[in-house]
Structure 1
Amino acid sequence: MEQALAPALAQRSEDHLYRHRRVLATAPGRRVTDAGGRCFTAFCSNDYLGLAKHPKVVAAFKRAAERYGVGSGASHLVSGHGREHRALEDELADFTGRARALLFCSGYMANLGTVKALVGKGDAVFEDRLNHASLLDAGLSSGARFQRFRHLDSSDLQRRLLATEARRRLIAVDGVFSMDGDIAPLPELVTLAQQHGAWLLVDDAHGFGCLGPSGGGVAEHFALAEPALPILIGTLGKAFGTAGAFVAGSEALIETLIQQARTYIYTTALPPALAAATRASLQVLRAEPWRRQWLAALIQRFRRGASTLGLSLADSATPIQPVILGDSQRTLQLAAYLEARGFLVGAIRPPTVPAGSARLRITLSAAHTEADVDGLLAALADAGGYRP
């Protein structure tokens, strides 16, 4: 096995594509310390609203852990479904304006379980080319005919819909694309879905909490109710600051998933304490709109500064602000330079992004200050030959 695996690892390293894990010694947040004692300002977290260590969220987790313990003991369908899970599902349904919601252990499991429960042999799945890996894997493994249309290209999708004779047709897209930060053209996709008798699924992992007047994500941003957007998926480990995921939709959708989604049926439920913490997070998210407002102001501040520096940014009004460099080695070099200046950013390279589009994935949070953003911009300005 070693002889078979080692050459591929060596080649990955030579191509500047090797992935490394960083060990942190502190909680996630604006400032982090690694295991070696070095302190950084982090611009690589998905904790967009700064809720991961909010006192009310942490306190709710502690109280529930004292009462329920730290595990759930079984799957939801055996004995792992408790009061906190049920209450959170009800509150998420209300938050999204859907009839019901269903908890999953991760966004990956929610996407995989949902797609495979809804379509199979004889059906067709249409996905944006830049969808998250979990949606792509779900479509590929569903047994349905899997087609990828050009990024944000409704015309390409329409052409493919016109050519299909599939029994069921599922359109699946990210709400906010995780590596580019741009938003799917949902009104156009709703129209196409209705014209062609397709179901529309949106994974709004990076929109929930950040977009919409009350943080309801892309569905609220575009004012799309359940009939227009019947399958809405969100994760809890980003703007909510906890972990897990949910699917929101009609009574028939949720009951179908309970009966048929294997990633729901055959896995241990989230700990009740985590559900309780997420309930507290949702309360804070709703009660403190200033977090979204401050985040939006920081995004604009960063984009103005980056434009002044001549940096190549994606068309994104979300917390995800990729600086496109193209070359993987240069991306690693610039990330290392910023690290030496005290800033952590994500160096994203193929195959996570298409070849030739390596980038710094800079993510902003409501926990950041103006000084943090200005400091990062100053470091980027001083980066010299590392920048394009």
Structure 2
Amino acid sequence: MDPLAGLRRAAGERAAAGLRRTLRPRTPDDDGLLDLASNDYLGLARDPRLIEAAVAAAREWGTGSTGSRLVTGSTRLHEALETALAELCGAERALVFSSGYLANLGAVAALGRGGLVVSDAGNHASIVDACRLARGRVVVAPRGDLEAMEKALAGRTEERALLVTDAVFSVDGDLADVAALAELARRYEALLVVDEAHALGVVGEHGRGAVHSIGLFRESHIVRTITLSKSLGSQGGAVLGAPEVIETLIDTGRSFIFDTGLAPACVGAALAAVDILHSQPELPVRTRARASELAAVVRELGLETREPAGAVVPVVLGAPETALAAAATCAEHGVRVGCFRPPSVPEGRSCLRLTARANLSSDDLAVIRHALTAVAEVKVRA
């Protein structure tokens, strides 16, 4: 028997459905394409201030953290970043992980362990995986369905309960009703975990995120997860919450305990980005404005989108093949875009994902309009 035959057969089926994925390594100049696909929302990933901070941290602390956070992987630099993140977001404490994915795994799996976890159907894959690792009862509620979430919480028999949502949904770009979810969680004595990955740096004053923007940052039953790899232009993630939450994760969070600490260079870069958010509050405002401008262009061309809450602007095209053709068309016109197909999106909702950046120029917008005009023609032909 050939142990790889099943893998080849499955790959052929994915190819026939337009669902094969390939790696496309970039060149330092991004292949000459205008970047509308990355999560570099504030345009900081190549900012000289972040690069210099990363180099300085590597020179002082070395290239790796040398171990898990509980052994040798915690430095004074990590401690400074946790203090800075907590201060920026108005949280009591912060705990840095080596990725945003692992921050979600740690928070949801540890805080929801053996209990009820109610998760929005639109949540990121890291939350989906975290729910499975919690080893409790998981209820997946339809997107934004508060009644379904309340029904699950009201009928629970478990001692623990966790309600989990993205703040800004990663593909559709719209904002969860965090205030209503916070009230629901409070009423049923549950914790609310809000993934601020696509909100930090973009939503609210100084980009402090969705929870802070509605004044709920002091609520002890709200736990926030963030990533350092999007608006902050670095790498890593963190959990923000009450001291009891952070201590629980240090004691029981497997993706914290058993993972190597975040590399010092990434910590240094993230610290520099936090300083920039404090000193340049216009950056989040500019990013949101550019996102609204992109959405307006999409609508003018007769394509389907949503009004963005942050930097993400979807262009819904339907079939995977149509989305792939549209992404190729954009590249031919000098623009790199994201292309999302099932299982990242529901069947029939394959789309381009455009991401605004604070440093997009008027000339850039003209190039983007030209590319999207060609996409609209592809959509008509499809």
Separation of aligned partners in 2, 1:161 and 1:221: 26
> RMSD of the alignment, in Å?
1.3
Match of 2:137 among 107, 131, 145: 145
Mapped partners of 2:5, 2:25: distance in 1: 29
Residue of 221, 241, 246 corresponding to 2:238: 246
Distance in structure 2 (CA, Å) of the matches to 1:61 and 1:141: 33
CA contact (8 A) 1:324 1:357 kept: yes
Match of 1:375 among 367, 371, 374: 367
Q: Residue 46 of structure 2 aligns with which residue?
A: 53
With 240-249 and 136-145 compared, the bigger mean Cα shift is at: 136-145
Distance 1:227 1:189 in 2: 12
Instruction: Please state how far the C-alpha of 1:314 moved relative to its aligned partner.
Output: 2.4
For 1:300 and 1:227, locate their aligned partners in 2 and report how far apart those are by CA, in whole Å. Answer: 31
Aligned to 1:297: 289
Identity rate, percent: 35
What secondary structure, in the 3-state scheme, does the structure 1 residue paired with 2:315 have? Answer: strand
Q: What is the letter of the counterpart of residue 163 of structure 1?
A: G
Q: What is the CA distance between 1:98 and its match in structure 2? A: 1.3
Aligned residue for 1:191, secondary structure, equals helix
Whether contact under 8 Å (2:122, 2:143) holds in the other structure is: yes
Matches within 5 A, 1:128-143: 128-143=120-135
Using structure 2 for the length normalisation, give the TM-score: 0.96
**1:8 maps to 2:10:** yes
TM-score (norm 1): 0.95
1:384 Cα offset (Å):
5.0
Q: How many residues align?
A: 378
Q: Could you tell me how far apart the structure 2 residues matched to 1:120 and 1:379 are?
A: 47
Q: 1:120 aligns with which of 113, 117, 121?
A: 113
Which residue pairs with 2:331 in the alignment?
339
The structural deviation recorded for 1:293 is: 2.1
Q: 1:312 to 1:228 in 2, by over 3 A?
A: farther
SS at match of 2:70: helix
Cα deviation, residue 382, structure 1: 3.0
Partners of 2:87 and 2:342 in 1: CA distance: 39
SS of structure 2 residue aligned to 1:316: coil
8 Å CA contact retained: 1:236, 1:245 = yes
Matches within 5 A, 1:267-282: 267-282=259-274
CA distance in 1: counterparts of 2:156 and 2:40, whole angstroms: 40
Q: Distance in 1 between matches of 2:218 and 2:234?
A: 25
Contact 2:64–2:263 (CA under 8 A) maintained in structure 1: yes
Shift of 1:141: 2.1
Gaps of 5+ in 2: none
Shift of 1:225: 2.1
User: How far apart, in 1, do the equivalents of 2:377 and 2:295 lie?
Assistant: 21
Cα distance in 2 between the residues matched to 1:327 and 1:165: 42
The answer to whether the 8 A contact 1:215-1:286 is kept is no
Helix, strand or coil: the match of 2:198?
Answer: coil
Q: Is the 8 A contact 2:287 2:357 kept in 1?
A: yes
Once the two structures are TM-superposed, the CA of residue 250 in structure 1 deviates from its matched residue by 1.0
The answer as to whether partners of 2:288 and 2:356 remain within 8 angstroms in 1 is no
1:287 match: 279
**Pair 1:197 & 2:199 matched:** no
Deviation at 1:228, TM superposition (A): 5.7
- 2-side partners of 1:40 and 1:46: how far apart? 15
Counterpart in the other structure of 1:78: 71
Give 2:102's aligned residue. 109
Q: Which residue of 2 aligns with 1:32?
A: 30
Q: Distance in 1 between matches of 2:341 and 2:12?
A: 16
- Picking from 220, 229, 247, the partner of 1:255 is 247
**Cα deviations by residue, 1:324-364 (Å, 9 ceiling, x for unpaired):** 01111111111111111111111110001111100001111
Name the CA distance, whole Å, in 1 between partners of 2:370 and 2:377. Answer: 15
Q: C-alpha distance in 1, partners of 2:255/2:290?
A: 38
Aligned partner of 1:166 in structure 2 is: 158
Counterpart check, 1:17 vs 2:19: yes
Amino acid of the structure 1 residue aligned with 2:159:
R
Aligned amino acid, residue 70 of structure 1: T
Q: How far did residue 114 of structure 1 move? A: 1.4
User: Aligned letter for 1:19?
Assistant: R
Paired with 1:70 and 1:239, the residues of 2 have a C-alpha distance of 23
Distance, in Å, in 2 between the alignment partners of 1:293 and 1:114 is 30
Determine if contact 2:117/2:162 at 8 Å carries over to the other structure.
yes
- Is the Cα contact below 8 Å between 2:334 and 2:367 reproduced in 1? no
> What are the superposed Cα offsets for residues 126-148 of structure 1, whole Å, 9 maximum, x if unpaired?
00001000101111221110011
Q: CA deviation at 1:297?
A: 2.0
Cα 1:164/1:59, change in 2 over 3 Å: same
Contact kept in structure 1, 2:186 and 2:221, CA below 8 Å: no
Instruction: Map Cα deviations across residues 159-179 of structure 1 (whole Å, 9 max, x no partner).
Output: 222222221110011111001
SS at match of 2:53: helix
Say if 1:104 and 1:269, in contact at 8 Å, map to a contact too.
yes
Q: 2: CA distance between counterparts of 1:370 and 1:229?
A: 43
Q: Could you tell me how far apart the structure 1 residues matched to 2:21 and 2:248 are?
A: 38
Q: Distance in 2 between matches of 1:230 and 1:379?
A: 42
Q: Which runs of 4+ in 1 moved over 6 A?
A: none
